[in-house]
Amino acid sequence: LQKILILLHVTTCVIVGKTLMILFPNAMKRYILKQGEKSRMNTNPKFSYENWGPTFFSFEYLLFVLKVKWKRLEDEAYEGHPAPNTPVVTVKGEVRHLLDFMRDNRPLILNFGSCT
């Protein structure tokens, strides 16, 4: 049911976005560029709007957003429910699953941080 609701929501957003791009191309370009500022997409001079702007609200865009949102459904954790078995990448580049690291009855501790 959640996947169907996500499909309907994303499809509606893509249809509305594509329609607005056709009807109001300049206004949508300004809107998309403003969104690009938030993610700093437009700070690279070799990566102009013409390279990525028209891809918004395309069929490929729809499929990508659906894939990401559906994948996130599998990663949600709820108190009192089993932990999601999220794929992770080891230091050696191997794809494993989080619960592969469980050993006997010992708790699995995850430490999130960053190295800068």
Q: Which is nearest to 36 in space by CA: 17, 22, 50?
A: 50
pTM: 0.57
Tell me: the pLDDT tens digits for 42-53? 677 777 778 778
Structure tokens at 76: 């949600």
Tell me: the pLDDT tens digits for 22-66? 999 999 888 888 877 777 766 777 777 787 788 888 999 899 999
